[in-house]
A and B are shown apart, each in its own frame.
Chain A
Amino acid sequence: MSALIATDLRVQLRDRLVLEDVTARFERGRVTALLGPNGAGKTTLLTCLAGLRVPSAGRVRLGDVDVLALDRRARARRIGVLPQNSEVHWDIDVATLVSLGRFPHRDRWAASAADERAVLRAMVATDVSHFATRSVKQLSGGERGRVLLARVLAGEPEWLLADEPLASLDPAHQLDVLDQLRAVAGAGAGVIVVLHDLTHAARVADDVVLLRDGRAIAHGSRDEVMIEDRVREAFGIDVLVSHAADADRFVVPLRRSP
């Protein structure tokens, strides 16, 4: 089980320090939420972890190897990324889109049996197989979100890095996506997800990294991190944290802290 480890990550864009000495360790089989206010560096951290951005200092290791030292395709096979506001530019059908996820695995033109199986599994897991022949342009926001997730899952990555996968989904589909993230982690992959909604984060995450102004101000299990003081420090708001019977936690934003 190789962990994904960020050590002293620093990202400088011109004169702005976007990430400052972030150190964090992510484990497989767990869902880790990256939380923080706008501009805290969540997406930047995610792209560094995915090996898509070269940090100004520090490094990201996947097990023993630096992610930047991995061959592009090898890295893509191990780390799947679901970008924010995923775009689909051409009018293609659902099955074609999902099979794009096999890109890092395929050397030849024709898809292998393993490719077909992985695509099928991803489509079943995200419950999109019954509209496999529909055009992506005709899908609702929720269906589209699931199809895009299926694309990443079709690559069978060890890591799923998702940037705000809940944006523009209605509550039912938000819950669906959260369930799928949990299922992916349950199957042994590591899930790192940028979220804005504290309530959802509290329900889905095993671990939480709390970012503010490019610094990781807290990193640990959900129960350690998602407490009133920490959240106030990160977001500048007062929250109500309450427990439900089944160990779910509810974080309700109340007001800006004075």
Chain B
Amino acid sequence: MSANVELNTTSLARRAPRDSAARLNIALVIAILGAAALSIFAGKIWLPWNAWTLHDPRWLIIAELRIPRTVLGFAVGAALGLAGAAMQGYLRNPLADPGLFGISSGAALGATISLYFGFATSAVLLPTFALLGAAGSMLILAVLAGRSGSLILFALAGMVLASLTGSLTTLTISLAPTPFIASQIVTWLLGALTDRSWDDVRITVPAMLAGSVLIASTARSLDALTLGEQAARSMGVDPRRLQLLIVLGVGLCVGASVAAAGIISFVGLMVPHMVRPLVGGKPSSILLPSALGGGLLLLLADTLVRIAPTVSELRLGIAMSILGGPFFLVMLFRMRRQIA
């Protein structure tokens, strides 16, 4: 009798968070569909439903500009949200951000170099260079920290790499052959999704998908890591394999998102925090809602910058930072209160 009662409470305990996660995911998918439609509607030229036919001349705007931009907006946000959730789970630190690894600044350096050489006109070269830059960062990270699987060495290596590639980017800007190129680089670094085409989608989205699959494969190991490195190892987690999967997964997601949209901060940091209270702290249950939430957030932000009454379009990266900065501060205030 009492065993039955206990069985019920346990099942309840284990199903409740799972249900709320499922509900959140469904709600997010519905919101994403709405946001995607809005993102296709909205812009300098509004495209109401009656423009959505092949015979309408405005279809060209939809097919060649709005849809790829919408797809990229969702993909970049989802990749960043997922990478952020994976990073926080891996480093067991709620303040971890995918930018911490130096992978995004590596990708930015790659893109900067391609702009320096005047490759801006090619839709293929810039993202390719950005991905190469991200790959370079990942390689250095893996070589530096990979042998031990140690977390501290890894985080330190990432931070050093971030500041090194950051200063190399600044160096490239200061050496720019013409002021035009310098300003082009600076503008690009601010992050945006303007004038993206299907070429960008074709190059970057497969990389994000591959990264997401790698991150998804680490989900249960991240759960085990909740109990600390030693306990996770005793439970059969291979720290070196996990680290490799995380570096590759986060690297592909973040590198490709920088290649597609420049540096967009705070998505990877904020979104996992927004979903955690709703689905519980278990790292694996945060991954999917973080991806969906990141995609939704960026879709909405990108729509907002398009319809905002500014002379030239507000840069998406700036908009996200303006949204993200205060959020981060509020979070710190709350944490301070919790600790005190």
Contacts and interface: CB of A to CB of B under 8 A. Distances in A.
A155 interface: yes
B223 A120 contact: no
A130 B220 CA distance: 26
Nearest to A101: B235
Interface stretch (A13-21, A26-34, A68-76, A216-224): A68-76
Contacts of B238: 72
A100 interface: yes
B184 interface: no
A89 B10 CA distance: 22
Contacts of A96: 13-14, 17, 280, 282
A15 to B, nearest CB: 20
Contacts of B237: 72, 103
Chain A contact residues: helix, strand, loop or mixed: helix
A129 interface: yes
Given A92-B282, A93-B280, A86 B231 contact: yes
Nearest to B234: A81
Contact of B226 (A72, A76, A90, A133): A90
A95 B225 CA distance: 16
A103 B230 contact: no
B52 to A, nearest CB: 38
Given A72-B238, A79-B234, A86-B228, A95 B223 contact: no
A133 B9 contact: yes
B228 A52 contact: no
Contacts of B234: 50, 52, 76, 79-81, 83
A81 B235 CA distance: 8
Contacts of A76: 234-236
A43 to B, nearest CB: 10
A88 interface: yes
Given A123-B6, A151-B227, A90 B282 contact: yes
Contacts of B11: 116
A124 B225 CA distance: 25
Interface string A80-112: 110100111111111111011101101000010
Contacts of B283: 90
A48 interface: no
A116 B10 contact: yes
Contacts of B230: 52, 81, 83
Nearest to A89: B92
Nearest to A71: B236
Contacts of B233: 52
Interface in B8-38: 9-14, 16-17
Nearest to B221: A103
Chain B contact residues: helix, strand, loop or mixed: helix
Interface string B237-257: 110000000000000000000
B228 A87 contact: yes
Interface residues of A, number: 42
Contacts, number: 107
A72 B276 CA distance: 31
B236 A92 contact: no
Interface in B80-104: 92
A83 B16 CA distance: 29
B281 interface: yes
A104 B235 contact: yes
Contacts of B9: 129-130, 132-133
Given A93-B280, A120-B6, A132-B10, A83 B231 contact: yes
Contacts of B12: 132-133
B224 interface: yes
B3 interface: yes
A90 B281 contact: yes
A91 B231 contact: no
A184 interface: no
Contacts of A129: 6, 9-10
Contacts of A52: 230, 233-234
Interface string A230-245: 0000000000000000
Given A76-B235, A92-B281, A103-B235, A120 B227 contact: no
Interface in A175-194: none
Given A93-B13, A132-B12, A132-B13, 17 more contacts: A50-B234, A52-B230, A52-B233, A72-B236, A81-B231, A87-B231, A89-B227, A91-B276, A92-B226, A96-B280, A100-B224, A100-B226, A104-B236, A116-B11, A120-B7, A129-B10, A133-B12
Interface of B: 3, 6-7, 9-14, 16-17, 92, 220, 223-228, 230-231, 233-238, 276, 280-283
25 contacts: A50-B234, A52-B230, A76-B235, A76-B236, A86-B228, A87-B227, A87-B231, A88-B226, A89-B225, A91-B281, A92-B282, A93-B280, A95-B10, A97-B226, A100-B227, A100-B235, A103-B223, A104-B235, A104-B236, A106-B220, A123-B6, A124-B3, A129-B6, A133-B13, A133-B16
